[in-house]
């Protein structure tokens, strides 16, 4: 059965990125605390604390070091489809999307974005995270992924890349072709 969920709560957003699809030196911070109420009587009321902190630093003349710290903490009865998940083209490339789902997660990822020649660029990335029922994560819950990718400047005027990434984890690997950067 589906759920009709509504959430309400305070949020903080700071964003000085000029181009969210391909950020230059900048910062991004999003923090929210949301209370969700299930209106269909299945007792799936819960509270979610979500943080997304990003920093984009210049390295040399044309390269960018991008770093992102994500957390999602849930208290109460969270419906399965709303559980946090690790994996996919944005977080923990090398795991398929939703490979891991549980009540809480924390993840850190970084990538170095470098120009090659003309419209081509190169990216190397790594990520680590933990997901579990409790906030006290065990080493068995730690997951890691790394990889590399090529960038093609699809639109020079808007500074938008098409990315081809290859992510590797201890369990699987995969290719990702997407418009815009992972974060």
For residue 49, give the CATH number of its domain. Answer: 2.40.160.50
> pLDDT band for position 161 (50/70/90)?
very high
Mean pLDDT over all residues of the chain? 93
Helix, strand or coil for residue 139?
helix
Euclidean distance between CA atoms 30 and 28, whole angstroms: 7
Strand partners, 148: 124, 166
Q: Which value, to the nearest 10 degrees, does the dihedral of the CA atoms of residues 129, 130, 136, 139 take?
A: -90
> pLDDT band for position 76 (50/70/90)?
very high
> pLDDT band for position 5 (50/70/90)?
confident
Strands (DSSP E) contained in 60-141 are 63-76, 85-86, 100-101, 104-115, 120-132
Query: pLDDT > 90: what percent of the chain?
Result: 81
Number of domains in the chain: 1
Instruction: Check pLDDT > 90 for residue 88.
Output: yes
- Domain of residue 82 covers 5-179
| Residue 2: per-residue pLDDT | 59
Helix, strand or coil for residue 140?
helix
């Amino acid at each position: 059965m589906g759920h009709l969920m509504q959430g309400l709560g305070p949020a903080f957003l700071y964003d000085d990125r000029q181009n969210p699809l391909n950020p230059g030196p900048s910062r991004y911070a999003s923090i929210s605390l949301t209370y969700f109420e299930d209106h269909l009587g299945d007792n799936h009321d819960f509270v979610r604390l979500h943080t997304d902190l990003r920093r984009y630093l210049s390295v040399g003349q044309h390269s960018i070091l991008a770093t992102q710290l994500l957390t999602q903490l849930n208290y109460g009865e969270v419906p399965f489809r709303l559980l946090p998940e690790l994996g996919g083209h944005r977080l923990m490339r090398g795991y398929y999307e939703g490979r891991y789902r549980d009540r809480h997660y924390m993840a850190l990822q970084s990538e170095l974005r470098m120009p090659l020649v003309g419209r081509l660029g190169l990216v190397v990335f790594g990520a680590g995270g933990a997901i579990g029922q409790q906030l006290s994560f065990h080493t068995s819950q730690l997951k890691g992924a790394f990889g590399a990718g090529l960038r093609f400047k699809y639109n020079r005027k808007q500074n938008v890349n098409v990315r081809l990434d290859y992510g590797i984890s201890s369990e699987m690997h995969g290719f990702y072709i997407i418009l815009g950067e992972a974060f």
